[in-house]
Structure 1
Amino acid sequence: MTDHHTYGTSSHTADELVRIVSDCLELDFAEHESDYLGIHYVAKGPDERIEVQPNQIPGDEDEDDLYAPEHPTIQALVMTTTAAPDPTLRARLSSIEGLTHLKHESL
């Protein structure tokens, strides 16, 4: 089983959020750039992957799209993928001021 969670904030930019999450979880994030996602940040552990990215992603014809269009006011996202549910990770992310849990999926 894989456990996915998405969090969002309208209080912080992706750059600010990556520093906050890095401090909270004591993880090092690597900056990545892609045509689809733009600049985003990834931290990987043995059983987890955590991404921080802006909600606005590069779109066609210089118009940005939203990664999470159902949340247009969200400025930045944190997405977690773990091998199994991780209540400690969820509690630590929920302690970040302005960060809201948006979505959960287990596959």
Structure 2
Amino acid sequence: MTDRHTYGTSTHTADELVRLVGDRLGLVFTERDSDYRGVYHLAGIPDGRIEIQPNPIPGDDDEDDLYAPEHPAAQVLLLTTTPTPDPALQARLDPVEGLIHLDQETA
């Protein structure tokens, strides 16, 4: 089983969210660069990971595409992946100002 959550914000930049979440959870994020996703930030957590991703990503046609087109208002996304639901992680993210839980997928 895999439990994924998507959070979004238009209040913070990706770098600001990295600092806020890193401080709150005691994590160190590493910056990654992907041809598909652009620049994003990754932190490992016990049995999972957290990624902070700008929603607008560079497209092949010099136009920005949305990483999560179903959430166009979110300028920055926070994605969590854990093997099972982790209510403690969700409870620690919920108070982050401007961060909104957008959806959950369990597979």
Give your verdict on TM over 0.5: yes
* Residue number in structure 1 paired with 2:31: 31
TM-score (norm 1): 0.96
Between the aligned partners of 1:73 and 1:84, the Cα distance in structure 2 is 28
TM-score (norm 2): 0.96
In the TM superposition, what whole-angstrom CA distance separates every residue of 1:63-98 from its partner, at most 9, and x where no partner exists? 010011121111100000001111010011111011
**CA deviation after TM superposition for structure 1 residue 46, in Å:** 3.4
Between the aligned partners of 1:58 and 1:50, the Cα distance in structure 2 is 21
Q: Structure 2 regions of 5+ residues with no counterpart?
A: none
Q: Structure 1 regions of 5+ residues with no counterpart?
A: none
Across the two proteins, how many residue pairs are aligned to each other? 107
Alignment partner of 1:11 is 2:8? no
Alignment partner of 1:98 is 2:98? yes
Between the aligned partners of 2:26 and 2:63, the Cα distance in structure 1 is 35
Runs of 4+ in 1 over 2 A off after TM superposition: none
Between the aligned partners of 2:101 and 2:27, the Cα distance in structure 1 is 20
Between the aligned partners of 1:98 and 1:2, the Cα distance in structure 2 is 26
**CA deviation after TM superposition for structure 1 residue 51, in Å:** 0.2
* Residue number in structure 2 paired with 1:62: 62
Identity over the aligned pairs, expressed in percent? 64
Between the aligned partners of 1:41 and 1:80, the Cα distance in structure 2 is 12
Between the aligned partners of 1:39 and 1:4, the Cα distance in structure 2 is 20
